Structure 1
Amino acid sequence: MAEDVEKTLVLDEPMNVVFDWSDSEIPVRDALWDYYMEHNAKDTVKTEETMKPVLDMSDDEVKALAEKLLK
């Protein structure tokens, strides 16, 4: 049985489409990755571990997280 791979579409939407306060065209996923990379001293392994739970979040949870961290 095939698993639904695209659980969270908000992660793949451009920031400026999801949020009216952003003019960035990068996907929400990349914006969060960049944020965590900066806060993890550019440690890719730490950032990957930090991002893993985000992949299982609902669209509303991802929006709230991005709003909290990136606004």
Structure 2
Amino acid sequence: MTDVEKTLTLDKKMNEVFSWSDDTTPVRDALWNHFMDDNNKDTMKTMDEMKKFENMDDSEVASAAEKLLKK
């Protein structure tokens, strides 16, 4: 799997990945915003959280993102 294939889900809009979402924000940005809120706007902590997603395949990204972002 190439790096491009690994990040497809991160770069899709929330509503393209999840049937429960009508948000047009890319998954990557939605996760970033979630972690920034959780980390009290600490960019370094948020970057550490986001690094985990770089090594996940699309199904892992979708599953983890759904657990974090589904309201």
Query: Normalized against structure 2, the TM-score is what?
Result: 0.90
* Unaligned stretches of 5+ residues in structure 2: none
Quote the RMSD (CA, aligned, Å). Answer: 0.9
Name the structure with the higher helix share. 2
Q: What is the CA distance between 1:55 and its match in structure 2?
A: 1.1
Question: How much identity, in percent, do the aligned residues show?
Answer: 56
TM-score for the superposition, normalised by structure 1: 0.90
**Structure 2 CA distance, aligned partners of 1:65 and 1:20?**
15
Q: Which runs of 5+ in 1 are unaligned?
A: none
Q: What is the aligned residue count?
A: 68
- The aligned residue for residue 30 of structure 2 is 31
Deviating beyond 3 angstroms after TM superposition, the runs of 4 or more aligned structure 1 residues are none
Between Structure 1 and Structure 2, whose CA radius of gyration is higher? 1
